[in-house]
């Protein structure tokens, strides 16, 4: 089997961490590198979290530190959601390996240059690193198969009424990425708010008994509690970032539509909105596969199966 080569660009973050576990547990996927970015927490903390997760999993791939700030705006972080460390809850080992000397943009560029096959970028944080990659090395777009990202929403938001957090953190970067000409799969709130993990699901994961399943359960303990206290209407926790990875392996679990998506960068109320042309008002060509639904029970079964593969 030819594995799908991916680069994870993330800001762990509980759901980023589960996305990493899922990718690592999946024999269909080859992780070529992991890069950090500021978002859920500062880049110092998200980088440390990447190192800790990879150390825990025994996953040895190059890691580089990404951008500490959005392109043009001040950083917004989400300690309310992910705690002061960005990954509050589980006890993780201290990093067992160093990060690369170079920046995230340089590491992604190096991996793309050296790869014989086209690579899929999987950003699950703000799109700052990816936008800067396209500005500095536009020729490397040819080495990218597509982007499968968590961010945005055809309708609604989670940080403002109109904006999802990852896009809101760096709307101009998102603008550059959505205008890049590359195919994008957008795992936005439309689908991630349906990818709900309940307390019962968490117990099921814990009972699998593997190390990876145990870590996933501990991460979800924290994440489900946060959502029960703040967003009880979900009946559990949306598992945002894992959707961007799951779609690569099991697209059959998802329903999607092809639409044109543009980013509002100027608005006062709608800054960071992923304006999705659902009814084709614009004559713009679709640039995005927008995920709109997921078979929740099968998604949970799939996660359980994968968590059982890793020890």
Partner 1 sequence: MSDSGKKIIIDCDTGIDDALALLIALQHPEWNILGITAVSGNVPLEHTVPNCIRICTLAGKKIPVYAGSAKPLYCEQRMAERVHGKDGLGGVKLPLGYTVEEESALSYLTGTVRENPGEIEIIAIGPLTNIALAILTNPHFSENVGHLTIMGGAIHGGNATASAEFNIWADPEAAKIVFNAGIPMTMIGLDVTNQAILGFDVVDRWKGSDNAVVRTAGELLFSFHHLFDGIGAKGYALHDPLTIAYVMDPTLVTTQDLYIDVETKNTLANGKTVADELHVTGNNPNVSAAVDLAIDKFLKLFVDAIEGYSKV
Catalytic residue IDs: 240
Indicate whether 196 belongs to the interface with partner 1 (CB under 8 A).
no
User: Rounded to whole angstroms, how far apart are CA atoms 151 and 251?
Assistant: 17
Candidates 43, 184, 216, 271; binder of partner 1 (CB under 8 A) is 43
Distance of CA 188 to the CA centre of its chain: 10
What is the Cα–Cα distance from 249 to 115, expressed in whole angstroms?
20
Q: Which is nearer to partner 1, 28 or 44 (by Cβ)? A: 44
Segment 89 to 128, residues that bind partner 1, using CB under 8 A = 101-106, 109, 128
Residues between 145 and 174 that touch partner 1 (CB under 8 A): 172
Q: Which span (133-141, 200-208, 234-242, 298-306) binds partner 1, by CB under 8 A?
A: 133-141
Nearer to partner 1, 69 or 206 (CB): 69
Would you say 232 or 266 has its CB closer to partner 1?
A: 266
Residues in CB range of 219: below 8 A, 6 or more apart: 14, 17, 18, 87, 89, 90
Query: With binding defined as CB under 8 A, does residue 48 bind partner 1?
Result: no
3-state secondary structure of 148: strand
Three-class SS state of 57: helix
The residue among 103 and 198 lying less far from partner 1, judged by its C-beta, is 103
Identify which of residues 69 and 146 has a Cβ nearer to partner 1 in the complex.
69
Is residue 214 a contact point for partner 1 (CB under 8 A)? no
Count of C-beta atoms within a 10 Å radius of residue 206: 16
**Nearest 5 degrees, angle CA 261-CA 299-CA 78?**
60
Binding segment for partner 1 (CB under 8 A), chosen from 16-24, 65-73, 91-99, 250-258, is: 65-73
Question: Peptide bond before 13: cis, by omega within 30 degrees of 0?
Answer: yes
Task: Work out how close the CB of 198 gets to partner 1 at its nearest, in angstroms, rounded to a whole number.
Answer: 39
Interface positions, 69-88, toward partner 1 (CB under 8 A): 69, 71-72
Q: By CB neighbour count within 10 A (0-12 exposed, 13-18 middle, 19+ buried), where does 103 fall?
A: middle
Q: Write out the residues near partner 1 by the rule CB under 8 A.
A: 43, 65-69, 71-72, 101-106, 109, 128-129, 132, 135-138, 172, 176
């Amino acid at each position: 089997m030819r594995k799908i080569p991916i680069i994870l660009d993330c800001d762990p973050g509980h759901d980023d961490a589960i996305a990493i576990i899922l990718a690592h547990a999946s024999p269909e996927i080859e992780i070529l590198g992991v890069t950090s970015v500021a978002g859920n927490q500062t880049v110092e903390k998200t980088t440390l979290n990447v190192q800790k997760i990879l150390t825990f999993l025994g996953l040895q791939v190059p890691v580089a530190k990404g951008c500490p700030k959005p392109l043009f705006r001040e950083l917004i972080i989400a300690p309310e959601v992910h705690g002061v460390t960005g990954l509050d809850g589980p006890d993780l080992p201290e990093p067992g390996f160093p990060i690369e000397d170079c920046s995230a943009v340089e590491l992604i560029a190096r991996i793309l240059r050296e790869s014989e096959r086209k690579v899929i970028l999987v950003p699950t944080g703000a799109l700052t690193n990816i936008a800067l990659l396209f500005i500095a090395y536009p020729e490397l777009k040819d080495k990218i198969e597509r982007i499968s990202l968590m961010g945005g929403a055809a309708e609604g938001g989670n940080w403002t009424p109109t904006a999802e957090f990852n896009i809101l953190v760096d709307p101009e970067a998102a603008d550059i990425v959505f205008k890049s000409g590359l195919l994008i799969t957008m795992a936005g709130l439309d689908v991630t708010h349906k990818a709900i993990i309940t307390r019962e699901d968490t117990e099921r994961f814990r009972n699998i008994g593997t190390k990876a399943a145990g870590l996933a359960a501990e991460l979800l303990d924290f994440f489900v509690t946060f959502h029960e206290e703040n967003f009880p209407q979900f009946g559990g926790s949306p598992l945002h970032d894992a959707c961007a990875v799951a779609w690569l392996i099991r697209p059959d679990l998802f329903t999607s539509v092809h639409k044109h998506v543009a980013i509002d960068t100027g608005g006062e109320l709608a800054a960071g909105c992923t304006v999705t042309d659902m009814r084709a008002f614009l004559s713009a060509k679709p640039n995005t596969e927008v995920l709109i639904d997921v078979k929740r029970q099968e998604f949970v079964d799939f996660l359980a199966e994968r968590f059982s593969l890793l020890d």
